[in-house]
Amino acid sequence: MAGVRALGVLSRVTLRRYALYSGRNDLPRTHVNYEVKGDVAVVRMNAPNSKVNTLSIQMQNEMTEVMNELWANNAVRSAVLISSKPGCFIAGADINMIQSCKDAEEVTKLSQEGQKMFEQIEKSPKPVVAAINGSCLGGGLEFAIACQYRIATKSKKTVLGTPEVMLGLLPGAGGTQRLPKMIGLPGAFDMMLTGRNIRADKAKKMGLVDQLVDPLGPGLKSPEERTIDYLEEVAIEYAKGIVDKKIKLHKEKGMMQKIQDYVMSFEFVRNQIYKTVHGKVMKQSKGLYPAPLKIIECVKTGVEQGPTAGYLAESQNFGQLAKTSESGALIGLYHGQVACKKNRFGTPEKEVKTLAILGAGLMGAGIAQVTVDKGVHTILKDTTVDGLARGEQQVYKGLNDKTKKRNITSFQRDSILSNLTGQLDYSGLEKADMVIEAVFEDIKIKHAVLKEVEAVVSPHCIFASNTSALPIKDIAAASKRPDKVIGMHYFSPVDKMQLLEIITTDQTSKDTTASAVAVGLKQGKVIIVVGDGPGFYTTRCLAPMLAEAVRVLQEGVDPKKLDALTTGFGFPVGAATLADEVGIDVAAHVAEDLGKAFGSRFGGGNVEVLKTMVDQGFKGRKSGKGCYVYQPGLKVKEVNPEIGDILEKYKMTPNPAVSSDSDVQYRLISRFVNEAVLCLQEGILNNPLEGDIGAVFGLGFPPCLGGPFRFVDTFGADKLVEKMRQFEAVYGNQFTPCQLLLDHAKDSSKKFHK
Amino acid sequence: MASMLLSTLRSCPVTHSYQCLIYPFLSISVRLSVPSVQTKSKKSLARPGMKNIVLVEGVRTPFLLSGTTYADLMPHDLARAALQGLLNKTGLPKDAVDYIIYGTVIQEVKTSNVAREAALGAGFSDKIPAHTVTMACISSNQAMTSGMSGKTISTPSVGLIAAGQCDAIVAGGVEFMSDVPIRHSRKMRKTMLSLNKAKTLGAKLGLIGSIRMAHLAPELPAVAEFSTAETMGHSADRLAAAFGVTRLEQDEFALRSHTLAKKAQDAGLLQDVISFKVPGRDIVSKDNGIRPSSMEQMGKLKAAFIKPHGTVTAANSSFLTDGASAVLIMSEEKALAMGYKPKAYLRDFVYVSQDPKDQLLLGPTYGTPKVLERAGLTMNDIDVFEFHEAFAGQIMANLKAMDSDWFGQTYLGRKSKVGAPPMEKFNLWGGSLSLGHPFGATGCRLVTTVAHRLQKEGGQYGLVAACAAGGQGHAMVIEAYPQ
């Protein structure tokens, strides 16, 4: 799955093995080698200069060559397929290989070649045992399930899955055909439609792998090396056992399995499954993502019309999907995510070993939660015993939920929690390498906290502010060492939201930034680093869209309808629900602040609507009432009837020229996108890629559009400007396109993404 | 000069087998150059200003497979038998010791301080305090060293004896696997405890009504490591695999253990075993787990923990055992004053611990170099090795770890390997695999065996090493008492 990464060095081991065992005269093979042990051929994959193996053209060609040699070699009776890389079997197909194809037909051809290769493996007269250690994803999994037998290490790094759907693709090398046969229709749909990773023990239960091998500790080699060797030794034994018929390839089916097979033999049962799955997909994706529907189609074709039709459908649909804008957007996000998991500011001088968090509220405790389990000593400070207890309980609950899901053991939970110190005073803060404050959003409180912290911490300690809108330079104004002050804007809930927005001022030192990024990466975050300014990047993009949403409500659109319009455009959460989640008070606060900073451009809806809601106690989900009424235990939420009066009071008359459903959608999205482009124009954003990542991972911008910048590229800047001019005519400067957008509209060759 | 020659040869990075090859030549040259053979780097480990601590006597009940003749006893009965055996063998007055310490692993709830119950039952004076310690398979080692020093990591200089608090102590260990505490489920226990507090009949009936079938499922004592939830056999299998120990090597070592134990038993070398009249049963005077088999027979067994491709089987693991041991430890002057002829000096010891997951059973590898360094000795100075054999795979893994430069450098922080003990000095009278392994009692058996072997074989220094659950380990140097 991963693209070509110029990382890692050609392992010493491979070089040596290659020199010893490669029995070829012409060009040496660089990706695949084999060694015959007894009558078992051990085929080792090791893509040079990469951390992972991908099914690149080179890898496929060499694999075909090697397999042909083995089939021709009478001394070989079976084969073991193994990777020499610790932590990776095959991570998938080479994305760049797919992207560099000119048209859908070329991608279809690639798929068919893959299908052919795996068909040969499946029909191999000599059994092939896949020995899996590390990630076995996408094409890697399709390879493995074409083999006669699968053995996997019970390591945390060993995951199996078909993540193609997350890239807008489908398993295009026989996956849609073999998986249903192997693990049944429901399991196969679940795997292919969610794309989730499956751990080895679960895979064994599902029948995806046949045997498990325990990872080993250190012996006469490092644990990683020895585990791979051991896996190979065990796999060789099994390969011999299969040839000698000591090991059966087809397990006796259990009672449940037999019943399931019987039920599945009825066409109407199968049709019911297709229908249910299709319905679920449509509900979740609003039909905006073509890949899941194509996956269902391929599976159905294979099951109902036989393999020939199935494989053909698979390769053709694969080709079509690869050239959709949705797939392009999702692959772009994937690349962006990889890029935003690197520290472009270098290694910080001092690693953060002790992190202090001030404020044990939702955010503070959330930050603690993602920090303690990374081996960082975490001090969680609050001002009240109750607040602290709530915060510590949140951290405990987060870890305990992981224990319940068996991601960690209760022992690991306890030992992780030993990294957490809860306290009410500043004792021990002199040991802190970084302090993140998550106190109330009030510049006076922030200043007071900053001064208190600077009085106790050591000179190297970094002060990070978790604020969503207050400019960092205003906070840093109270600091004795503004070079150590930085903004770290987390998103709620911290343990679920992947994004971290880091804000630097002119005075923030490069080392401070490097350190903040390093901490964020350790916490598992996808990071964008942006310049300072009111609302930074994310809040600044969201504010105009929410202002527009309020206007839409004032114009008489029901919150439910508003939600439907936004989710229908691809937002995972509707605008009204989002406002409730963020908190109406926070939204009002931000709208007012940014309104002051940016003037009428941030207008639209009347801030008084939000303020009145806050005054009446409708602060959103946290207060039980906002746009909706939230009742514990109830999943269905009803519109808060009491906001009707408020909206009535601030009622606006909609202009029919710009009030169709589609117009409302574009009014919302264009204000978001225009502000994002303006951020790039003003240098708040460093590059469009970070802009896309920030919008998608922090604000839920439709992933199928790939982010505001990719949206401009694919939708066309000229078309967007045209729409905005139309809205501008009615509403004024809130829809005036920024200069950069106009530049792109004038010259269609200008693209944010090459 | 001879010792210089030795040390240069020692520091050569030669493999074990190579070392064996050149050994005859070496000893000849030593004999030629120095008429009186003194190959030890030290004459004695006695230190000025420190009390010498001696082992006066060590005994144990026969070690029996659990569920056999001892089946109806309680743990303190076994401990009592060992203590009475010690009294009989030494003729020790019942008020002559100052303190009694016992080690045990799985505690009988009724006798949680089993040391006290056993001491009273064995007729010791009720004025002698007694306590019980637990440290998995090195519990009785801890009992002995607590008596010696009272501190886990130190020279025997500040303990009950060494500090002058006591002059004579009895240490021992007991384990009784024929009966273990099996509890009600947590939910059931909770209901039962609430029932005690319930005041009205209605409340009581309500509680009784809340009991479900599932609550009645009993809870067996954990056989797994608490921190990792992995059973020891499983960990041993992974350890053996990590060091590339084959099934054949393990079976061979297990067979060796049984064969040597049988030989020692037949030759009457196991003098520490006392006869025990089991109430309602016969007199037991022999270990019953020693069963030399054939490689073929052992090869037929299936893997017991990692199925089906594992290598640890019932035959190459130590078995569940009932048994107790006891030793009499005194300051040298007290022993001599009481007219005893001590068997050996108990010298330096260490406790070590490491990763309980991947290095659960590597205690000997970590403990051995550390205790040797503390005593100022080298591997070549040791004449008698007694290592606790939890699993044949575990012993072989430890031997390989000690023989690996990579392991020594990477995990022990040494310049080179520790060096594996030569097999001709190693566990010559059998070990835990064949004699049995009552968890809490094995440590005293190891120490007593070293003392007896030093007397029998005429060596000067012996080394005890053992692994224990929790990733812990222990090693002790024992010096022969001049005969």
B194 and B173 within one domain = no
B215 and B335 within one domain = no
pLDDT for A26: 54
Q: Is the dihedral of CA A88, A90, A93, A96 positive or negative?
A: positive
Task: For A177-204, give the secondary structure using H, E and C.
Answer: HHHHHHHCHHHHHHHHHHCCCEEHHHHH
Contacts of A230 in chain B (CB under 8 A): 241-242
Q: Is residue B58 part of a domain?
A: yes
Distance (Å) from the alpha carbon of B228 to chain A's nearest alpha carbon: 7
- Tokens representing residue A169 in the block: 């693709």
With CB atoms and an 8 Å threshold, state whether A237 touches B241: no
Residue A156 has pLDDT above 50, yes or no: yes
Rounded Cα distance, B272 and B282, in Å: 19
| More confident site: A88 or A1 | A88
Tell me if A576 sits within 8 A of A553, measured CB to CB: yes
Of the given ranges (A258-267, A500-509, B78-87, B152-161), which has the lowest mean pLDDT? B152-161
Contacts of B406 in chain A (CB under 8 A): 220-221
Contacts of B357 in chain A (CB under 8 A): 217
Total structural domains within chain B: 2
Q: Is residue B42 part of a domain?
A: no
Q: Closest to B241 (Cβ–Cβ): which among A216, A237, A411? A: A216
Site from A129, A216, A410 to mutate, B interface, most B CB atoms within 10 angstroms: A216
Interhelix angle A139-146/A175-183, rounded to 10 degrees, is 60
With CB atoms and an 8 Å threshold, state whether B411 touches A218: yes
With CB atoms and an 8 Å threshold, state whether A234 touches B397: no
Contacts of B407 in chain A (CB under 8 A): 218-220
Q: Closest to A218 (Cβ–Cβ): which among B237, B242, B309? A: B242
Buried b (16+ CB within 10 A) or exposed e, A316-355: bbbbbbbbbbbbbbbbbbbbbbeebeebebeebeeebebb
For residue B85, the Cα-to-chain-centroid distance in whole angstroms is: 20
- Whether A411 contacts chain B with CB within 8 A: yes
pLDDT for A249: 85
**Percentage of residues of chain A with pLDDT beyond 70:** 96
Question: Kind and range of the H or E element at B347?
Answer: strand B344-353
Residue B208, strand partner residues: none
With CB atoms and an 8 Å threshold, state whether A411 touches B229: yes
**pLDDT tens by residue, B58-98:** 999 999 999 999 999 999 999 999 999 999 999 999 999 99
Q: Closest to A220 (Cβ–Cβ): which among B306, B355, B407? A: B407
Q: Is residue B83 part of a domain?
A: yes
- Whether A237 contacts chain B with CB within 8 A: yes
B337 and B290 within one domain = yes
Q: Which residue in A600, A596, A620 sits closest to A610, CA to CA?
A: A620
Instruction: Please indicate whether residue A501 is annotated as part of the active site.
Output: yes
Rounded Cα distance, A348 and A513, in Å: 8
Domains annotated for chain A, with CATH where assigned, are: 32-323 (3.90.226.10), 354-523 (3.40.50.720), 538-746 (1.10.1040.50)
pLDDT category at A687 given cuts 50, 70, 90 is very high
Label the pairing between strands B64-65 and B321-331: antiparallel
**Percentage of residues of chain B with pLDDT beyond 70:** 90
With CB atoms and an 8 Å threshold, state whether B359 touches A218: yes
pLDDT category at A546 given cuts 50, 70, 90 is very high
For residue A504, the Cα-to-chain-centroid distance in whole angstroms is: 25
Provide the number of CB pairs (under 8 Å) joining chain A to chain B.
57
The residue written with tokens 């207060």 in the block is: A623
Site from A155, A210, A214 to mutate, B interface, most B CB atoms within 10 angstroms: A214
B262 and B209 within one domain = no
pLDDT for B114: 97
The residue written with tokens 């008492």 in the block is: B481
pLDDT for B28: 34
Q: Determine the residue of chain B that is closest to A247 in CA distance.
A: B308
Provide mean pLDDT across the span B153-170: 67
pLDDT category at A27 given cuts 50, 70, 90 is low
Distance (Å) from the alpha carbon of A421 to chain B's nearest alpha carbon: 22
Rounded Cα distance, A436 and A467, in Å: 10
Residues 6+ apart with CB under 8 A from A31: A45, A46, A47, A48, A53, A56, A58, A59, A62, A63
Residue B72 half-sphere exposure toward CB, CA atoms < 13 A = 6
- Tokens representing residue A485 in the block: 């002050």
Q: Determine the residue of chain B that is closest to A224 in CA distance.
A: B242
Residue B39 has pLDDT above 70, yes or no: no
Rounded Cα distance, A448 and A430, in Å: 18
Q: Determine the residue of chain A that is closest to B405 in CA distance.
A: A220
Residue A497 has pLDDT above 50, yes or no: yes
For residue A263, the Cα-to-chain-centroid distance in whole angstroms is: 36
Residue A386 has pLDDT above 90, yes or no: yes
B196 and B155 within one domain = no
Of the given ranges (A55-64, B386-395, B445-454), which has the lowest mean pLDDT? A55-64
pLDDT for B48: 80
Q: Is residue B411 part of a domain?
A: yes
Of the given ranges (A152-161, B78-87, B168-177, B202-211), which has the lowest mean pLDDT? B202-211
**pLDDT tens by residue, B277-287:** 999 999 999 99
Interhelix angle A290-305/A267-285, rounded to 10 degrees, is 170
Average pLDDT, chain A: 92
- The interface pTM score, or ipTM, of the predicted complex is 0.87
User: Can you list the positions of beta strands (E) in B6-141?
Assistant: 53-60, 64-65, 99-103, 130-133
Q: Determine the residue of chain A that is closest to B242 in CA distance.
A: A219
B399 and B311 within one domain = yes
Rounded Cα distance, A688 and A680, in Å: 7
SS3 call for A295: helix
B371 and B282 within one domain = yes
Of the given ranges (A322-331, A417-426, A560-569, A638-647), which has the lowest mean pLDDT? A638-647
With CB atoms and an 8 Å threshold, state whether B309 touches A223: no
Q: Is residue B398 part of a domain?
A: yes
Residue B26 has pLDDT above 60, yes or no: no
Rounded Cα distance, A536 and A519, in Å: 20
For residue A203, the Cα-to-chain-centroid distance in whole angstroms is: 22
Distance (Å) from the alpha carbon of B227 to chain A's nearest alpha carbon: 5
B332 and B424 within one domain = yes
B362 and B466 within one domain = yes
Residue B464, strand partner residues: B386, B476
CATH code of the domain containing B322: 3.40.47.10
Cis upstream peptide for B93 (omega within 30°):
no
With CB atoms and an 8 Å threshold, state whether A219 touches B243: yes
pLDDT category at A167 given cuts 50, 70, 90 is very high
Residue A83 phi/psi, 5-degree rounding, is -100, 145
Buried b (16+ CB within 10 A) or exposed e, B265-274: beeebbebbb
pLDDT for B37: 45
B209 and B71 within one domain = no
For residue A30, the Cα-to-chain-centroid distance in whole angstroms is: 32
Residue A747 has pLDDT above 50, yes or no: yes
Per this entry, what is the length of chain B? 483
- Whether A221 contacts chain B with CB within 8 A: yes
SS3 call for B130: strand
With CB atoms and an 8 Å threshold, state whether A218 touches B397: no
Contacts of B408 in chain A (CB under 8 A): none
Q: Which residue in A478, A531, A543, A474 sits closest to A502, CA to CA?
A: A531
CB atoms within 10 A of CB A252: 7
Q: Closest to A220 (Cβ–Cβ): which among B226, B309, B406? A: B406
Interhelix angle A708-715/A717-731, rounded to 10 degrees, is 100
In B295-362, where does DSSP find H-type helix? 295-299, 332-337
Residue A371 has pLDDT above 70, yes or no: yes
pLDDT for A632: 82
Question: Kind and range of the H or E element at A729?
Answer: helix A717-731
Q: Closest to B243 (Cβ–Cβ): which among A213, A214, A220? A: A220
With CB atoms and an 8 Å threshold, state whether B407 touches A234: no
With CB atoms and an 8 Å threshold, state whether B359 touches A216: no
Contacts of A216 in chain B (CB under 8 A): 238, 241-242, 358
Question: DSSP letters of A351-411?
Answer: ---EEEEE--SHHHHHHHHHHHTTT-EEEEE-SSHHHHHHHHHHHHHHHHHHHHTTSS-HH
The residue written with tokens 């019309």 in the block is: A305
Q: Is residue B169 part of a domain?
A: yes
Rounded Cα distance, A527 and A128, in Å: 42
Question: DSSP letters of A30-56?
Answer: SSEEEEEETTEEEEEE--TT-SS--B-
SS3 content of chain A, % helix, strand, coil (to 5): 55, 10, 35
Rounded Cα distance, A227 and A132, in Å: 11
Q: Is residue B15 part of a domain?
A: no
**pLDDT tens by residue, A182-228:** 998 999 999 999 999 999 999 999 999 999 999 999 999 999 999 99
pLDDT category at B35 given cuts 50, 70, 90 is very low
Question: Kind and range of the H or E element at B463?
Answer: strand B461-468
With CB atoms and an 8 Å threshold, state whether B242 touches A213: no
SS3 call for A106: helix
pLDDT for A581: 87
Q: Which residue in B25, B35, B40 sits closest to B382, CA to CA?
A: B40
Rounded Cα distance, A408 and A420, in Å: 17
* Domain interval for residue B206: 190-219
Chain B residues at the A interface, defined by Cβ less than 8 Å, are 226-229, 234, 237-239, 241-244, 306, 309, 355, 357-359, 397, 400-401, 404, 406-407, 410-411
Burial class (CB in 10 A: 0-12, 13-18, 19+), B287: buried
Dihedral (Cα; B331, B336, B339, B345), 10-degree rounding: 60
Distance (Å) from the alpha carbon of B406 to chain A's nearest alpha carbon: 7
Contacts of B239 in chain A (CB under 8 A): 217, 219
Degrees, nearest 5: CA angle A539-A544-A549: 115
The residue written with tokens 């060596």 in the block is: B459
Rounded Cα distance, A736 and B186, in Å: 68
B175 and B194 within one domain = no
Burial class (CB in 10 A: 0-12, 13-18, 19+), A644: exposed
- Whether A149 contacts chain B with CB within 8 A: no
Rounded Cα distance, A317 and A321, in Å: 6
Rounded Cα distance, B347 and B47, in Å: 10
pLDDT for A633: 79
Touching B: A residues 183-212, CB under 8 Å: 211
Q: Is residue B48 part of a domain?
A: no
With CB atoms and an 8 Å threshold, state whether B309 touches A217: no
Q: Is the dihedral of CA B354, B357, B362, B363 positive or negative?
A: positive
Contacts of B237 in chain A (CB under 8 A): 214
B265 and B162 within one domain = yes
- Whether A418 contacts chain B with CB within 8 A: no
- Whether A214 contacts chain B with CB within 8 A: yes
Distance (Å) from the alpha carbon of A237 to chain B's nearest alpha carbon: 8
Residue A6 has pLDDT above 60, yes or no: no
